[in-house]
Amino acid sequence: MRTEPPTRRTQAARREATCAKVLGATIECLAELGYFGTSIAAICERAGVSQGALFRHYPTRRDVIVAAAEAIGRHHLESFAAADLDLRRDGYRRFVELIRGICRSPTHAAWREIMIAARTDDGLREAASAGLGRFEAAILELCARSLGLGEAAAQPAAVILLSVMHMFDSEAVTVVVYGNAAIEARRIEWATGMLERELGVLGN
Amino acid sequence: MRTEPPTRRTQAARREATCAKVLGATIECLAELGYFGTSIAAICERAGVSQGALFRHYPTRRDVIVAAAEAIGRHHLESFAAADLDLRRDGYRRFVELIRGICRSPTHAAWREIMIAARTDDGLREAASAGLGRFEAAILELCARSLGLGEAAAQPAAVILLSVMHMFDSEAVTVVVYGNAAIEARRIEWATGMLERELGVLGN
DNA sequence: TAAGATAGAAAGTGCCCGCTTTCTATCTTG
DNA sequence: CAAGATAGAAAGCGGGCACTTTCTATCTTA
């Protein structure tokens, strides 16, 4: 399995394969090494691809990052679709655990690294905001679907659910830097109850 | 005012003056250029100080960042002390606006840049976590003082208030990258009401 | 006030970065 | 199957980075 026999593959397939390896490695690097540490060399080493190969498919480092943001955005959409959550059927505990799990995942760490970099990098921001926004879009869609409301009527709920997402997104960073297990345990309890109280009213 | 006459200053005063200039410039750079863009050259240019001068006082770039984190932590503590907030007297709207304002401030942006970098930089994390944690400490202290409860009894309130802080911390990034004014306006309203409902119970 | 210590400026130094160049291997198409 | 196109490897290149060295100016102290 080390060097597979020279299987005959179409050019498109070869291209897609190395692009996938590059994007996967980029997401891993962002999660483990941060935006700063995600160098072309680090990406290529992890992907098992030469730098020349990478630059054949992506003209600049920024384009690699932007493509990774797109991939992460799609991944987030799929995660929510796969969870197939119905807030009224499942209750809010599952939602809270789902959001917290996603926020603490490596993929989301990569998403966050790009978000933070985009704040101070105008070009990256313009190029990547669509892909990054898909995480927000995923939750908005979840609201409409899960509550069986139109987009306008779902907005009050969306504000609340997005706020919970922001809460766990920011918490996930502090967990690593100066974790406070007692507070985190209380938070997940409180968030569940709070959603029941705040969204229960809307559910009528 | 361009080149002030060679006023006679003690060595300690000169030292303190350039250190202050360096730390101020570092915080500005972190806020405007991000962690990546906060190079020694950028810091020194903004501070009006040579690189040799900087390295006389801080052995490495990391030490500059750590010192900046300490300064930001102290600044956050002072911000909360200066606000002199009493939740029961002032109501929750002022708290929500205070937190949102702080989270959107340049100083807090610098804090966040260091937090994010600390996630993937072990040495930075160990050296800076104490300073960074002062933001959390400031809110915890606010809880105990503002609600007139002991530390143990204040913890349920602390969980809620810290959660609101996390919410606006994460929101502040998305505001820059793909702002959604409608949701942000609703969020500040909702957060105020939610705190009244959730903390009103505890207040008894 | 002389001698040593500290602060600061200016010009390096080596390294790693994103990216390019060059060349070979594999695939497509007439 | 020949000829051109595409994919990929390997080495190289300029530039910016953190940090050092060297030298001068200012302060401290005996």
User: pLDDT for A135-183, tens place per residue?
Assistant: 888 888 887 788 776 666 788 999 999 999 999 999 999 999 999 999 9
C1' of nucleotide D22: residue with nearest CA: B52
Chain-chain contact of B33 with A120 (C-beta, under 8 angstroms): yes
Q: φ and ψ at B104, to 5 degrees?
A: -95, 0
Q: Sign of torsion, CA B167 B169 B175 B181?
A: positive
CATH no. for residue A28? Answer: 1.10.357.10
The pLDDT tens digits of the residues spanning B112-135 come to 999 999 999 999 999 999 999 998
The verdict on residue A134 lying in a domain is: yes
Structure tokens at A108: 């989301």
* Span A19-26, average pLDDT: 98
Number of folded domains that form chain B? 1
A107 contact B CB<8A? no
Chain A, window 165-204: residues with a beta carbon less than 8 angstroms from a chain B beta carbon: 165-171, 173-174, 176-178, 180, 182-183, 186-187, 190-191, 194, 197-198
CB A68 within 8 A of CB A30: yes
Chain-chain contact of A132 with B178 (C-beta, under 8 angstroms): yes
Answer yes or no: is pLDDT of B185 > 80: yes
Closest nucleotide to the alpha carbon of B56, via C1': C7
The verdict on residue B2 lying in a domain is: no
* Structural domain that includes position B52: 11-203
Answer yes or no: is pLDDT of B32 > 90: yes
The verdict on residue A6 lying in a domain is: no
The pLDDT tens digits of the residues spanning B91-106 come to 899 999 999 999 999 9
The verdict on residue A136 lying in a domain is: yes
* Span A47-74, average pLDDT: 97
The verdict on residue B167 lying in a domain is: yes
Q: Round the average pLDDT of chain B to a whole number and report it.
A: 91
Chain-chain contact of A35 with B36 (C-beta, under 8 angstroms): yes
Q: Round to a whole number and report the distance in Å from the CA of B61 to the C1' of C3.
A: 34
B42 contact A CB<8A? no
Answer yes or no: is pLDDT of B6 > 60: no
Q: Round the average pLDDT of chain A to a whole number and report it.
A: 91
What is the model's pLDDT at position B4?
38
Pairwise pLDDT comparison (A152 vs B75), residue with the higher score: B75
The verdict on residue A2 lying in a domain is: no
- Tokens 């139109």 correspond to what residue? A150
3-class DSSP state for residue A13? helix
Chain-chain contact of A115 with B163 (C-beta, under 8 angstroms): no
> Of the given ranges (A79-93, B156-170, B181-195), which has the lowest mean pLDDT?
A79-93
Residues in contact with A204: Cβ distance below 8 Å, sequence separation at least 6, in sequence order: none
What is the model's pLDDT at position B202?
67
Distance CA(B38)–CA(B27), nearest Å, equals: 9
3-class DSSP state for residue B85? coil
Distance CA(A166)–CA(A38), nearest Å, equals: 25
Mutate to test the interface with A, among B72, B120, B143, B196 (most CBs of A within 10 A): B120
Choose among B133, B159, B171: nearest Cβ to A190.
B159
Answer yes or no: is pLDDT of B1 > 50: no
Percent of chain A exceeding pLDDT 90 equals: 72
Least CA distance to A178: which residue of chain B?
B129
Shortest distance between the Cα of A163 and any Cα of chain B, in A, equals: 6
What is the model's pLDDT at position B10?
82
The pLDDT tens digits of the residues spanning B48-70 come to 999 999 999 999 999 999 999 99
The verdict on residue A5 lying in a domain is: no
Q: State the burial class of residue B85 (Cβ atoms within 10 Å of its Cβ: 0-12, 13-18, 19+).
A: middle
The verdict on residue A131 lying in a domain is: yes
Distance CA(B183)–CA(B21), nearest Å, equals: 39
Choose among A34, A125, A136: nearest Cβ to B117.
A34
